Amino acid sequence: MTPYERILTNSFFLLLLTYICLPTVANDELDIQSTVTRGPDVVLIESEKRSIFEYRQNGQLRMIKIVPRIGPAYFLVPSDPTRGDGDLERAETLLPSWTIIEF
């Protein structure tokens, strides 16, 4: 076997080994990325008179749900959700909203 054939054979086996191991490495990276994705965070604060649920998304306070021991639950939501300044007001009717695309 000539040196050129030996180099060609070794290169072929190295390429074949890389091709076989590549899907395993790609699957491991996908698993890592899927565990990093987080949803909205909910903080529960309970007292004798009421329970307070703070809903956060990407670290920003989005909504507060207050459940008194006596009476109906009510929500505090931002008056302008695009500003994100933490100015919350009571919502009489809460309309569902979804994020379709986020940049």
Question: Is 5 inside a domain boundary?
Answer: yes
Structural domain span for residue 26 = 1-37
Three-class secondary structure of residue 32 per DSSP:
helix
Residues 16 and 53 in one domain: no
Tokens of 25: 């490495």
Assigned domain for 10 exists: yes
- The DSSP output letter for 80 is S
Same domain as 87, residue 45: yes
Number of domains within the chain: 2
> Is the domain of 16 the same as that of 55?
no
Structure tokens at 4: 């050129």
Other CB atoms within 10 Å distance of the CB of residue 63? 19
- pLDDT tier for residue 33 given thresholds of 50, 70 and 90: very low
Same domain flag for 29 and 51: no
Q: 39-69: per-residue pLDDT in tens?
A: 568 888 888 888 888 888 777 777 888 888 9
Please tell me the distance from the alpha carbon of residue 84 to that of residue 91, in angstroms, as a whole number.
16
Enter the pTM of the model: 0.47
Judgement on whether residues 58 and 31 belong to the same structural domain of the protein:
no
